[in-house]
Amino acid sequence: MDTPAAGNADTSAPSARRGRRRSTDIGAGARAEIVAAARAEFAENGYDSTSLRAVARRAGVDAALVHHYFADKADLFAATVDVPIRPDRLVAEILRGPRDAIGETIVRTIVTEFDHRPTRDAFLALLRTALGHEFAARMLRQFLVREVLSRIASELDVEDGELRASLAASQIVGLVIARYGIRLGALAEASPDEVIARVGPVVQWHLLGGEFIT
């Protein structure tokens, strides 16, 4: 039986012929392929059960290449739903402020962001998708619990913090839908300062308790 000479040996092992692209093999379409793979992973497995390593396998790239484009799973999720703001990062920034003004700070941040049309339109499109499709609702729900509500609850360190954070979130979502989605009467026309002054104390009460009606 003929055997290949050492100099002519086939060195094209599977990893060399069709291996995963490394972080140094960055092409123009690599990021888009990773986002597409992540979208499929999130749809099949939800937010909690999706890992960056699983996304890398599906996209046929090294995990390092995923990390090259995306800092973490929340960053990748934001890219798959095409929302220009990261709620978890806004929350982290808000929580660095004074606790006795956290409700007002949250509402001010939301109103400031949503008064810009690209942000508003992208978030409302995501919300419509979540309301109409269970897989999208599950992803959004898991993302909000893991990346937003749990962080707020942990930072506040109060009894029933998760419930408090959820109630505050419901207030914010309701505000966004009423003011920017269906544009409900005077609320849609109210100035940002008036919305902040009226809704901020309600959010504050949900989070930390205390009197807000005088």
| 92, 65: one domain | no
| Higher-confidence position of 137 and 13 | 137
pLDDT band at 134 (very low <50, low <70, confident <90, very high): confident
Mean pLDDT along residues 101-129: 86
pLDDT digits (tens, 9 = 90+) for 37-85: 998 998 888 888 899 999 999 999 999 999 999 988 988 988 888 777 7
Choose one of 59, 77, 95: the last residue of a domain: 77
| 96, 186: one domain | yes
| 155, 102: one domain | yes
- Asked if residue 214 belongs to a domain, the reply is no
Judge whether residue 214 has pLDDT over 80. no
Amino acid identity at 7? G
The parent domain of residue 50 ranges over: 6-77
φ, ψ of residue 21 in degrees (nearest 5): -70, 140
> Whole-prediction pTM value?
0.67
| 70, 98: one domain | no
Count the Cβ atoms, other than its own, within 10 Å of residue 151. Answer: 17
Domain count for the chain: 2
pLDDT digits (tens, 9 = 90+) for 159-184: 888 899 899 989 998 999 999 999 99
| C-alpha separations of 200 from 169, 170, 206 in Å | 12, 13, 10
Count the Cβ atoms, other than its own, within 10 Å of residue 75. Answer: 15
| 101, 14: one domain | no
The confidence score (pLDDT) of residue 22 equals 54
What contacts 182, CB < 8 A, 6 or more positions away? none
| 95, 201: one domain | yes
Q: By the 8 A CB rule, do 4 and 10 touch?
A: yes
The confidence score (pLDDT) of residue 205 equals 93
The confidence score (pLDDT) of residue 193 equals 96
| 148, 97: one domain | yes
Closest CA to 144 of 196, 58, 83: 83
pLDDT band at 4 (very low <50, low <70, confident <90, very high): very low
